[in-house]
Amino acid sequence: MPGPDSPIGVFDSGVGGLAVLAEVASLLPGEDILYYADSAWFPYGDRPVEEVRARAEAVSRALMALGAKIIIVACNTATSAAIAHLRATLDLPFVGMEPALKPAAERTATGKVALLVTRATAKGEKLAALIDRHGAEVSVRVVAAPGLAERVEGGDLRGETTRALVRGYVGPAVAAGVDAIALGCTHYAFLRGVIEEEAGAGIDVLEPSAAVARQAARVLDERGLRNPRTAGGAVRYLTSGDSGAFAAIRDRLRDAGARVPEGASMPQGTAT
């Protein structure tokens, strides 16, 4: 059975969850972490719910086979499609993602907020429930943003094509009076700077990675699973895609100024 010295598992369809990984590694520096990029199936955002659910279970089982004591579903689409299924099916604690709508609703002065999400998340029941729970007192504009995750996967965080996409999604929302934007895809965390620039002064852009790391720490403490070390944790990377390409995109993201922990690459992932 997993114990305090077992690793934390984190997965996403690609590199978006690296933003969550960075927060977890910073908050819990004594923990070993396994990061699984399901790159062979990227992007989840355009896939049917059933397919995303099946991939989430397969990747979770692969992480469990490697000894994971908790799994962070560092993907809004996979959380929406699969986290209830994972919790019901697998005997392990799971922490998922959701857009930071609650703090956005608390901060807005205009009473208008936007959720920037993938198409799959936009259509999901979990997002609808989130809006019912935290958006009742404000006007919520859901903005599906296809193409942005792909720009991040390509390592283009500030290029003109990326900026033009962001402008096309954010501009109409700001023109409509939105003054808070909650990011609903982990990939979008890497575009936060461009989103803030295109949104303009006075617009709050909120991203939940740090909150997810804090929740993971709470779950570990509640279950007596936190590693007692205060430093020395190692990160290991694996992917269902090409491990060389995955290492290269991590380097490109670092070169672009993103916080991406250093770590060793493991043999290609075996989730099937």
Q: Where in the chain are the domains?
A: 8-96+209-265, 101-206
pLDDT at 174 over 60: yes
pLDDT at 185 over 60: yes
pLDDT at 272 over 70: no
Q: Tell me what pLDDT residue 269 has.
A: 60
Q: Tell me what pLDDT residue 23 has.
A: 97
- Determine the average pLDDT of the residues in 179-187: 94
Q: Is 153 a catalytic residue?
A: no
pLDDT at 260 over 60: yes
Say if pTM beats, i.e. exceeds, 0.85. Answer: yes
User: Which of 21, 70, 74, 75 does the annotation list as catalytic?
Assistant: 75
pLDDT at 109 over 80: yes
Predicted confidence band of residue 121 (pLDDT cuts 50, 70, 90) = confident
What is the percent of the chain where pLDDT is above 90? 83
Q: Tell me what pLDDT residue 268 has.
A: 62
C-alpha 128/C-alpha 26 separation (Å) is 32
One fold for both 8-96+209-265 and 101-206?
yes
Judge contact between 75 and 99, C-beta under 8 A. no
- Determine the average pLDDT of the residues in 158-168: 96
Q: Tell me what pLDDT residue 20 has.
A: 97
Task: Read off the pLDDT of residues 56-91 as tens digits, 9 standing for 90 and up.
Answer: 999 999 999 999 999 999 999 999 999 999 999 999
DSSP state of 111: S
Q: Is 75 a catalytic residue?
A: yes
Q: Tell me what pLDDT residue 259 has.
A: 93
- Determine the average pLDDT of the residues in 239-245: 95
C-alpha 200/C-alpha 264 separation (Å) is 39
The CATH code that applies to domain 8-96+209-265 is 3.40.50.1860
Predicted confidence band of residue 118 (pLDDT cuts 50, 70, 90) = confident
- CATH class label, 101-206: alpha beta
Between 135 and 261, where is the model more confident?
Answer: 261
Q: Tell me what pLDDT residue 127 has.
A: 87
Q: Tell me what pLDDT residue 32 has.
A: 98
φ/ψ of 142, rounded to 5, equals -90, 120
The DSSP line for 44-103 is GGGS-HHHHHHHHHHHHHHHHHTT-SEEEE--HHHHHHHHHHHHHHSSS-EE-----HHH
pLDDT at 271 over 80: no
User: Which of 181, 185, 199, 271 does the annotation list as catalytic?
Assistant: 185
Helix ranges restricted to H, 108-242: 119-123, 125-134, 148-153, 160-175, 192-199, 209-222
Task: Read off the pLDDT of residues 33-52 as tens digits, 9 standing for 90 and up.
Answer: 999 999 999 998 888 999 99
Q: Tell me what pLDDT residue 15 has.
A: 95
What is the percent of the chain where pLDDT is above 70? 98
Residue 162: how many other CB atoms lie within 10 Å: 20
Judge contact between 37 and 11, C-beta under 8 A. yes
Who's near 235: CB < 8 A, 6+ residues apart? 21, 25, 32, 33, 35, 261, 262, 263, 264
173: its two tokens: 């929302």
- Determine the average pLDDT of the residues in 175-193: 95
Task: Read off the pLDDT of residues 189-212 as tens digits, 9 standing for 90 and up.
Answer: 999 999 999 999 999 999 999 999
43: its two tokens: 């992007």
